[in-house]
Copies of this chain bind each other. A is one copy, B any other.
């Protein structure tokens, strides 16, 4: 069985097969009617470009769609947003934008888009407005391009890890662990159990248990369960069986921050590698970022040009500067503080004090990557204070083997660490953080049975999509953003 699908606009434009008969399904982007001829621009979402369709008088007469008129305005329904089936022949284009256009022999209207009610007009809409019509905004040029870039970045992530011998692992979404130790998780409960404390009104069907015993189950999972904030701990489990693994899945934060930087639901990429130490981890992070940026430059030129023109004029230049740089700067946290102190002495003003104990603020990170080095910077060996319990302690007693990758224009894009692989040290840190080691015995076990030095990091997928598209609001780089007050 040989399986093919009809050619898309992208494929037709790439093949330039003049003389070929085609059948194309697509949506109208524009329609210019003159006396003897109509010019349609059709787009099917496969690329930024539409393809020009030329409809001569003979074809117009043969196509009932051109006679069908809008009940309200009395104009024909081949208008912006309508979907068509077009038959015709590819011919050399008269214009100089594209090599081929379609000389139509038949046009069929599949679905109209009445211009008096269709929310998407030919003009540019604000992103605020587009967010209110999230079921239609994918049809706009910019959001359409962002989602194609998002697809490409997803594939580049897989390509990178598969090429380097990693296995893709689906870590669980519903969990009873808490890798970050915060109080910002979402609780999950079945409708049948959730109302336990609500006076007994039933939100759903009665459970089998309820039917037989008359008693409701308190917790579906036997205990309180939450949406994951990170697949790291489970990633560590599989790093200890499969060596090199990565996750790529949704993660959640119940943060009530209604900003352009926060989502309640976002996708994360988390590699976890056995036998890898901090230096190797920085190599891995740098190589991944280069692969993602190089790959989008190679595969998505048309989308990037559109976004460079309309969204972020520095986009192409800054992406190219990353791939052209020889290597990312790597400095220890202590060195970074020294550089910042030097800048302050030289007259640079920051809102926040520069001090080893105070940590790096966003303005400090931006100075390092945008003003001082003007390229991506990896900062490593952070103060232990305030860092997660699982980061490996350095022998200085003060710092841990954590690292952050900072990029111009966006700031932190990756955070990771070598993991504590000493059973006793890890247990002591858990106790110090108020965690119950018994609840995490499975995690401690990794240090008890065939333990290894190992490392991993997290890359927020929407962050890299923002970086590569230049989009300012994180809600515009995910198809259906979820945030406080918003789930539709």
A residues touching B (Cβ–Cβ < 8 Å)? 1, 3, 5-6, 8, 10-11, 25-27, 44-46, 81-83, 85, 110-114, 117-120, 134-136, 138-139, 144, 147-148, 150-151, 154-155, 158, 162, 164-165, 167-177, 183-192, 194, 197-199, 203-205, 207-209, 217, 220-223, 225, 227, 234, 237-238, 240-244, 249-250, 252, 254, 256, 264-265, 267, 274-275, 280, 283-284, 286-287, 290, 326-327, 421, 442-443, 445-453, 478-480, 482, 484-488
Which of A111, A118, A183, A284 counts the most chain B CB atoms within 10 A? A111
Contact among B85, B205, B250 with A184 in the assembled complex (CB-CB below 8 Å): B205
Q: How many copies does the complex hold?
A: 2
Q: Are B242 and A147 in contact (CB under 8 A)?
A: yes
Q: Do B286 and A221 have beta carbons less than 8 Å apart?
A: no
Nearest B residue to A210 via CB reads B256
Nearest residue, chain B, Cβ from A486? B221
Contacts of A175 in B (CB 8 A): 487-488
With A155-B168, A479-B169: A174-B264 Cβ-Cβ less than 8 Å: yes
Q: Are A162 and B155 in contact (CB under 8 A)?
A: yes
A187 touches B184 (CB 8 A): no
Cα-based distance from A253 to B372 in the complex (angstroms): 52
Q: Closest CB-CB distance, A164 to chain B, in whole Å?
A: 5
B164 engages A5 (CB within 8 Å): yes
> A188 contacts B187, CB within 8 Å?
yes
Select the residue from A114, A275, A447 with max chain B CB neighbours within 10 A.
Answer: A275
Q: List 8 A-B contacts (CB under 8 A).
A: A3-B290, A147-B241, A151-B169, A155-B158, A155-B162, A187-B191, A191-B254, A221-B482
Q: Are B240 and A487 in contact (CB under 8 A)?
A: no
A207: nearest chain-B partner, CB-CB: B256
Contacts of A164 in B (CB 8 A): 3, 5
Q: A83-B450, A110-B451, A208-B256 are in contact. Are A487 and B174 (CB under 8 A)?
A: yes
B186 engages A189 (CB within 8 Å): yes
Q: Which residues of the partner chain B approach A25 to less than 8 Å between Cβ atoms?
A: 243, 274-275, 452
Q: How many angstroms from the CA of A34 to the CA of B159 in the assembled complex?
A: 45
* Contact of B241 with A45 in the complex, beta carbons under 8 Å: yes
Given the known A-B contacts A111-B452, A170-B150, A189-B187, are A237 and B486 also in contact in the complex, defined by CB atoms under 8 Å? no
